[in-house]
Amino acid sequence: MEEFNRALAHLQEKFGDKDNLIGLSTISLKSTPDGRPHPAVRFVDAYYEDGAFYTVTYATSSKVQQIMANPAVAICYVVDSFTADGHGENLGWVKDSKNSALAAKLREIFAEWYDDANNDDDPNTCILKITLDKGLWNFPHEGKCTLIDFVTKEVEHRG
- Residue 119: C-alpha distances to residues 83, 97, 103 (Å): 30, 16, 12
The pLDDT tens digits of the residues spanning 97-136 come to 999 999 999 999 999 999 999 999 999 999 999 999 999 9
Query: Minimal CA–CA distance to 26: which of 54, 66, 61?
Result: 66
Domain ranges of the chain: 2-158
- In order of 21, 44, 84, 129, 157, the CA distances from 145 in angstroms are 22, 25, 13, 26, 6
**Whole-number pLDDT of residue 78:** 86
- The fold of the 2-158 domain, in CATH, is Pnp Oxidase; Chain A (2.30.110)
Residue 79 in this model has a pLDDT that exceeds 90: no
Q: What percent of the chain has pLDDT over 90?
A: 94
Residue at 74: amino acid letter:
A
What pLDDT, on the 0 to 100 scale, is given for residue 40? 96
Work out the average pLDDT over 17-42.
95
